[in-house]
Amino acid sequence: MKAVARPRRGAPPKGEVSARERILATASELFYREGIRAIGVDTVVEQSGVSKTSLYRLFDSKDALIAAFAAEKDRLFWTWWDRLEERHAGDPRALLEALLSGIAQRIGHSTYRGCPFQNLAAEFPDDNHPGRVVARDNKEEMRARLAAIVAKLGVGDPNRTASQIALIINGAYATGLMAEPGDLRGDLVDAAMKLLA
C-alpha cells in the first residue's frame, strides 16, 4: 500500500525555503512586475505552490502581504545603502556619488519597473494603508540620511539640500520608467553636486 503524502508541519528542513519566504518572494516578484492591484491572492497561491489556507495563516489579509512586501523592499534597500556607507566611511562626497551611481544603475536594469515605494503610493492613496506607511517611512528615512551626509559636507541648510537631492532621485525613478537617459548616472551626480556648490 502506497503511503499518502501529508502536509508538512513545522519548520522546513535545513536549506529549504519556508512557506512564508516562498509566498513573500512570489508576491514581491509579481507585485513589482505586474502591479499590486493587478495580482490577486489566488495568483500568489498558485505561483508560490503554497495553499491559500497557509497564506492566510501567515498573512491575515492581502494588505498584510502588501505591508510585508513593502517591508522587505525597505529592508533590502537599507542593507544596500548601509554597505555603501561602510565602504565610504569618512568620505561623505564619495558616499553620495556612490549612492547616486548605484541608484542610476538600478534604474538602468532591464527588470526596472519603477521605485516600489512610489508605485505603492500611487496604487494606494489612503495614507493609513500599511504598505503606504512603509513607503512613506522609506522616503522620509532617505531624506534624513541624505541630510546627515550633506551636513558632513558643510552645507548651510542640510535639510533643504537633502530634500532637493531626494526630489532629484525620485524624479530619476519616475523618468527611468519612460525614457532611457543617455547618462543618468552623470546627470544625477552632476545635479546633486551643483546643489552642493
Alpha carbon 132 to its chain centroid, in Å, reads 12
Say if pTM beats, i.e. exceeds, 0.85. Answer: yes
Instruction: Please tell me the distance from the alpha carbon of residue 176 to that of residue 188, in angstroms, as a whole number.
Output: 12
In percent, the amount of the chain with pLDDT more than 90 equals: 79
Domains of the chain in start order, with CATH, are 16-60 (1.10.10.60), 72-196 (1.10.357.10)
C-alpha cell at position 62: 492581502
Is the distance from CB of 111 to CB of 28 less than 8 angstroms?
no
pLDDT for 107-133, tens place per residue?
988 899 999 999 999 999 999 999 999
Instruction: Please tell me the distance from the alpha carbon of residue 97 to that of residue 108, in angstroms, as a whole number.
Output: 16
Is the distance from CB of 50 to CB of 43 less than 8 angstroms?
no
The yes-or-no verdict on residue 92 having pLDDT over 50 is yes
Rg value, the chain, Cα? 20
